[in-house]
Amino acid sequence: MRKEDLTDPMIWTSLSANETQQRESRRRLICIADYIVPGHGQIFAVTESIRKQHSCVGSV
């Protein structure tokens, strides 16, 4: 997951084998992580704004 993927889901959805499962996995990761270190791209902080965009409330 790269920071750019958060604003343009077409970057990852077009290559996903199971978009529904991958979307939920990404959401769970965003909800629990403070930082994401992608395999490709720069490390980025998971902000409250990003968490709100992905419906992170209470438990994952």
List, for residues 5-60, the tens digit of each pLDDT value: 888 888 889 889 999 999 999 999 999 999 999 988 899 999 999 999 999 986 55
Question: Contact at 8 Å (CB) between 2 and 40?
Answer: yes
- Of the candidates 16, 24, 34, the one whose C-alpha atom is nearest the C-alpha of residue 55 is 24
DSSP state of 15: T
DSSP secondary structure letter of residue 46: -
Cα-based distances in Å from 15 to 11, 19, 34, 49, 50: 8, 9, 26, 26, 22
